[in-house]
A and B are shown apart, each in its own frame.
Chain A
Amino acid sequence: MTVKRRSFIKTSAAGAAALAAGPYFWPKGASAADTIKGGAIYDLSGDLQLFGKNQWACAEMAIDEINAAGGVLGKKLEVKTYDSQSQMQAYNQYARQMVLRDKVAVVQGGLTSSSREVIRPILHKLKTLYFYNTNYEGGVCDRNFFATGATPGGYVDLLSGEAMKRWGKSVYIMAADYNYGQITAKWIQKAVKDAGGKVVGEEFFPLTVNQFGPTISKIQAAKPDFVMNVFVGPAHASFYGQWASAGMNKEIPMVSTTFGAAGEVVRMPPEIADGIMTCYSYYEDLDIPFNKKWLAEFRKRNGTDYGYLTDVPPKDWYGWIFWAKAVNEAGTTEREKVIEVLEGGLTIDGPGGPLTMDAKTHHCTMDMYIGQAKGGKFEIQKKVAQVPPTNTGNQCDLIARPDTNIMYEPKI
């Protein structure tokens, strides 16, 4: 999609002319010298565009800000954007293309864990920095990889702890039946047991399940103090309407690790959505001066048709700002030097509060907030400052063992 036939012919023609001009002449990076290149890959069309478009809107805003402030190393940051069409093979192809053809200094993007695991090994092998800016199940330990998203090691404890304090100690877990859901459910089990609570039921749902009648009956029989869900995708979103239809949203509190990430709070009527409790590192309603300015700018650029921003999209803003700052401090785009700066405890301020890169894990320490859905948005009820990334259970130490390249699962 980025190679246009016309420009291809033009470039080829220019190349041929250059070759004809003399055997020793080659227009080597003639125009590339005054820009620094980055690569972005987001799900801009297809099933995941709901997320990808907002991610890119935030990334684009960061890139414009970087350039308005003088660019990277005094040069303009030029980012090539690729649309994965929500397809894994496109991630594979474009990741290679970005490194080998576009010669980018950094790649940022991706949403699902599967897309990350397609491009992470490629970028690791081709020695090109990769920033992954989504909240995910955690555990990646790879020197070439930097994550700005929240991971369950941090927010699951906070969320289940807050819910147990408010409502009681017995919990029913409902989770998506794949990697992210299963690992997060393990974290919930651990957090609940560590806090002296009890898991009275646990159920996993394939991503295609959209009928929850039997489970709702089982929950009614189990009578938990609250339900905690790890739902993913449009089919699972059907749950909330059925839960409300059975009148359960007025009887048993609902806690979610994903609710609101896809604009649910705008799409679902308050009668269905109100009261659902979440824990994210960003909400539009955060009362922070930085956020007020940031959000006004975001709205100016994107209008109102983007739903309600929570955790994920602003992290792509952080990701680009992080990298640009690291490069400017390192004075070069050279990978090793940039990693050294990032591992030096680099901190940046942003709409959700300051983010600090943790040297050992390449994940971030960040402020987390408890927000409860109310009247089409979230009511921020609590702030927990500077939550460290504990998602590998302290197994990952990239300072002591820089050659590590694995994904840890929680030992529970």
Chain B
Amino acid sequence: MDLAVVVVIQILYAVASLALISIGLAIIFGMMGVINFAHGEFLMMGGYAFILSYNAGVNFWIAMLVVAPLAVTVIGVAVERLIIRHLYGRVIETVLATWGLSLFLIGLAATVLGYHQKGVTPPFGTIRIGAYQEGGYTFFVILVTLALMAALYAGFKYTRWGLIARGTMQNARMASGIGVNVDRVYATTFGIGAGLSGLAGAILAPIAGVLPEIGVTYVVKAFITVIGGGAVALAGTGAAASLFGAVSQAVTFLSRPVVGEVALLVVAIVLLRLLPLGITGRYFRRGL
């Protein structure tokens, strides 16, 4: 019985962490269509922003939930203005530019920040479940991801800004024609995507550590999740994260970690073979 509870918690955690690392990319790639290979580095910068400000004396939660996303939002807007905006609609160039950006950011972090910034300890203690015990932080990650998804859904669905953003992504010329400042909407949306990545990086920092190359471990899984989700960014990412996270974690429990990794990829391949446009190519098409 206690094992069953632990397995369920672990699966929820796997789904949540997959959704968390993908959500920023879902907006930048899923909504805006920008293939951002520097996504992992946005996460990495969020992690650094968090531990650096925390070690400089900022309150733990303010450093994690405010400083990190704000810092990466600012960087994201700068990247959009300097690089990305010249490349909308040019897929190959975007891939090259963001890949270069990724290498640049890793190099910059390695040279300027280095490998020896002191990390932080996960807060909350542990919770005992029969013969097992689980870190309280696991539950925090699950809850915060749920809250984030809900907030984004509400933001895009019920605010005027959300409506304009969705409209611009659907048809930029039309939006421009009715007086929307398309440039600003693109920059803001990209900034929000970057900020969410920064937030995710900060949330994962206590349990994953922060290194210049840490982004590399996230970026592939984030892309698989977003592509598996399809065109409807939020619902798609949520659905794909649920499917991939549950399958890989359950398989890891039943066999070994390497089989779990393989299972994730196999499910992704089969999924895209059956639903080439991702999950939301067929289901939740009217979602967000």
Contacts and interface: CB of A to CB of B under 8 A. Distances in A.
B258 A269 contact: no
B122 A245 contact: yes
Given A45-B107, A203-B256, A245-B206, A271 B121 contact: yes
A271 B118 CA distance: 12
A177 B256 CA distance: 11
B246 to A, nearest CB: 12
A248 B14 CA distance: 20
A205 B118 CA distance: 25
Contacts of B125: 247
B207 A247 contact: no
B14 A49 contact: no
A247 B10 contact: no
B115 A267 contact: yes
Given A235-B217, A245-B207, A305-B114, A206 B121 contact: no
Interface of B: 3, 6-7, 10, 13-14, 17, 107, 110, 114-122, 125-126, 131-138, 206-209, 211, 213-214, 216-217, 220, 249, 252-253, 256-258, 260-261
A245 B252 contact: no
A47 B6 contact: no
A205 B116 contact: no
Interface string A309-321: 0000000000000
B10 A267 contact: no
Nearest to B134: A246
Interface stretch (A19-27, A71-79, A98-106, A209-217): A209-217
A246 B135 contact: yes
Interface string A209-243: 11101110100110000000000001101101110
Interface string A196-211: 0000000111101111
Interface of A: 45, 47, 49-50, 177, 203-206, 208-211, 213-215, 217, 220-221, 234-235, 237-238, 240-242, 244-248, 262-263, 266-269, 271-272, 305-307
Contact of A272 (B13, B121, B214): B121
B122 A206 contact: no
Contacts, number: 125
Contact of B119 (A208, A220, A268): A268
B134 to A, nearest CB: 6
B206 A241 contact: yes
5 contacts: A177-B258, A213-B13, A214-B252, A244-B121, A262-B115
B134 A205 contact: no
Nearest to A308: B116
Contacts of B10: 213-214, 217
A3 B3 CA distance: 62
Contacts of B107: 45
Contact of A263 (B3, B115, B206, B258): B115
A271 B124 CA distance: 13
A271 B216 CA distance: 26
A272 B117 CA distance: 15
A267 B217 contact: no
Contacts of A208: 217, 220, 261
Contacts of B133: 220, 246-248
Contacts of A204: 256-258
A263 B17 contact: no
A212 B144 CA distance: 20
Nearest to A242: B207
